[in-house]
Amino acid sequence: MKKSVLTRYRVMAYVTAVMLLVLCTCMIFKYGFDTGETATLMVSQAHGLLYMIYLVFAFDLGQKARWSFGKLLWVLLSGTLPTVAFFVERRIAREVEPLIAGAEREPARA
């Protein structure tokens, strides 16, 4: 497995988590203070698009790391809960980095 697979996942995990926090803030302004309806619409659409990209990258990482279905599902759903993606991303990075280091040490197969 290449390091770029983990890097793509980590970037999208952070971007998705930040966008979800921005979306939550917009929702508070929209429903709590009755302002920012247009901003909420724009942010929600951007978050939806970025979340789909996150799903693709997380699924790719999960397939290459050979995760169980339950673990893969947990990682995929972590992008829907505010702040959870930050913690899950760190844990996944710690678990996957030794796999990447081990793959780099193995000689290439013909």
What are the pLDDT digits (tens) for 47-74?
Answer: 999 999 999 999 999 999 999 999 999 9
Please give the pLDDT value at position 104. Answer: 64
Please give the pLDDT value at position 81. Answer: 87
Residues 64, 5 contacting (CB under 8 angstroms): yes
Mean pLDDT rounded to a whole number for the chain: 89
110 belongs to a structural domain: no
Task: Please state the rounded mean pLDDT for residues 70-87.
Answer: 90
Q: Is the pLDDT of residue 8 over 90?
A: yes
85 belongs to a structural domain: yes
Task: Please state the rounded mean pLDDT for residues 75-101.
Answer: 89
Distance in angstroms (rounded) separating the CA atoms of residues 37 and 80? 21
57 belongs to a structural domain: yes
109 belongs to a structural domain: no
108 belongs to a structural domain: no
Q: Is the pLDDT of residue 108 over 60?
A: no
Distance in angstroms (rounded) separating the CA atoms of residues 89 and 17? 10
- More confident: 110 or 96: 96
Domain holding 8, by residue range, is 3-103
25 belongs to a structural domain: yes
Count of domains for the chain:
1
